[in-house]
Amino acid sequence: MKDGYNSIVGLNALKALNITQEDLDYTKEEIDQNIRTLKSRLNSPITDMTDADVSLYDALLRNIDDLVDVSKLTWKDPIANTVLSDDSEVIENLGKRQRRTFLEPREKMKCKLPNLVSLKCNEFANNFHKISTLDEFKDIRHNGLWKEEESDLGKITEQILSILEIMWNNPAFETSMSRNM
């Protein structure tokens, strides 16, 4: 119960529970604008496209028009953020060649996991239950002191904050009411 209370207090602090109908309407306007932007990009693609690319763009536009109900989109839907997700209905309904063209960059980025990494992961999973007994850890206590030097903690903090800065400066959130709040 306490965790639930803390979660609600946290959401309230983020103003997630204080969203008014006006805020929701503003969000819908942003999502509508994102869909228009996506369609515009698909309508005016780069000049040196192949026939397969043109066919793909045309099919994507048709699928967005036919399959996406913009009024039902929320920010949880990738397409509301101008992202065409591999498992979306828009992509699932492409023809075989068009789907293969769409997925080609993803396929080129795949790399095989080294055997050593796989072995280490499997070893950890197989042995996890053996090392997690309380008897082995009953005498281990934390003394309340940091083990790292202050300068190391500063570097780690900078790295974490730089990652957060990159995420928060994502173009998907440029005009978002939730980011402003």
Give the predicted TM-score (pTM) of the model. 0.49
Nearest alpha carbon to residue 74 among 36, 137, 133, 32:
32
Query: Is the Cα torsion angle 72, 76, 82, 84 positive or negative in sign?
Result: negative
**Structure token pair of residue 98:** 């068009």
Whole-number pLDDT of residue 48: 73
Position 90 scores a pLDDT of 92
Closest CA to 100 of 59, 63, 64: 59
Q: What is the pLDDT of residue 4?
A: 45
Q: What is the mean pLDDT of residues 174-180?
A: 52
Higher pLDDT, 121 or 62: 62
Q: Where is mean pLDDT largest: 3-12, 14-23, 52-61, 144-153?
A: 52-61
Domain boundaries along the sequence of the chain: 22-138
pLDDT bin (cut points 50, 70, 90) of residue 174 is low
| Percent of the chain at pLDDT exceeding 90 | 16
Of 134, 154, 32, the residue nearest 82 (C-alpha): 32
Task: Return the pLDDT at 13.
Answer: 47
Q: What is the pLDDT of residue 160?
A: 86
**pLDDT of amino acid 2:** 45
Please write the tens of the pLDDT for every residue from 113-142: 788 888 888 888 787 666 555 565 566 666
